[in-house]
Amino acid sequence: MQSSLEECAPGVTQGAQLKGQLLSPQGGVIAVAPQSHGGDHHYDLVAFPRVDTTPGAEMQRDLPCFIDCAVAMTGDPRHAADMWVQTAGMCLLELRDRRGRFADHIGPGDERHVPGWHTIASGACGFGLEVAQTERLQAALLEANVLTRVADTFTADLESPFFNGIKVFYGGQPGAMNTEIRINGARHEAASAAMAALGLPEPTVFTAVRYFALMLPEADRR
């Protein structure tokens, strides 16, 4: 994870420590959580954007965090780390930075806006057997404006007053594609079904693409 972060944002982990999790000197922790679903190459990851990591700091409880998962489809854990960093990781960095350097800010006036919510959204990344097909689906997933189009199926379930982590996934074999939206780590059935009804194009070979978003209440952008 540290290597992946450095590749995408050089210097961002300078001074970080590895103690069963990645501790940032700027405040923040990325940890591997106990596996809740998936196979051997599946990783559940928890990000705590604001943690006091200075020596001697008091124990902090009930810290705001967001959950995501990533799969090493090649069997190499680095590939899972890369997938996470390029999506959820960029949202984590942007939540702290707030200058649009790592991810997009979506608010009123943007066609991707979800009323009542300020969204920090990553680009799409993916894995597939053909580069052209992967790039095609990455573009299609973003152009579909999924979260805005299916917003009425899930916004009532955004419970965190700080930020809600949302993964949008589309992948599989031709004729057997899986659409999934996970909110705060859990699959959201209604949103996933609504996404499936959008009619996203299918690849000709195995391809999987995803992006991540953090949704913050517009009235309280912490």
176-207 pLDDT tens trace: 999 999 999 999 999 999 999 999 999 999 99
pLDDT of residue 130 exceeding 50, the answer is yes
Query: Which pair of structure tokens corresponds to residue 141?
Result: 């997933």
Give the model's confidence band at 52: pLDDT under 50 very low, under 70 low, under 90 confident, else very high.
very low
Burial letters for 142-180: b for 16+ Cβ neighbours within 10 Å, e otherwise?
bebebbeebbebbbeebebebbbbbbbbbbeeeeebebb
Q: What is the pTM of this model?
A: 0.87
Contact 77, 43 (CB under 8 A): yes
pLDDT of residue 123 exceeding 90, the answer is yes
Distance of CA 188 to the CA centre of its chain: 15
Residue 55 has a pLDDT of 45
Give the number of C-alpha atoms closer than 13 A to the C-alpha of residue 77, restricted to the C-beta side.
Answer: 8
Share of the chain above pLDDT 70, in %: 86
Q: Taking residues 134-163, what's their average pLDDT? A: 96
Residue 129 has a pLDDT of 94
Query: In sequence order, what are the beta bridge partners of 70?
Result: 43
pLDDT of residue 51 exceeding 70, the answer is no
Cα 88–90–91 angle (5° rounding)? Answer: 65
Q: Taking residues 90-103, what's their average pLDDT? A: 90
Residues across the chain: 222
Share of the chain above pLDDT 90, in %: 55
Domain ranges of the chain: 2-220
Cα 100 to Cα 50, 91, 108, 152, 211: the distances in Å are 19, 10, 16, 27, 16
Burial letters for 9-43: b for 16+ Cβ neighbours within 10 Å, e otherwise?
beebbeebeeeebbbbebebbbbeeeeeeeeeeeb
Give the model's confidence band at 61: pLDDT under 50 very low, under 70 low, under 90 confident, else very high.
low
Residue 187 has a pLDDT of 95
Residue 54 has a pLDDT of 47
Contact 12, 4 (CB under 8 A): no
Residue 66 has a pLDDT of 87
pLDDT of residue 222 exceeding 60, the answer is no
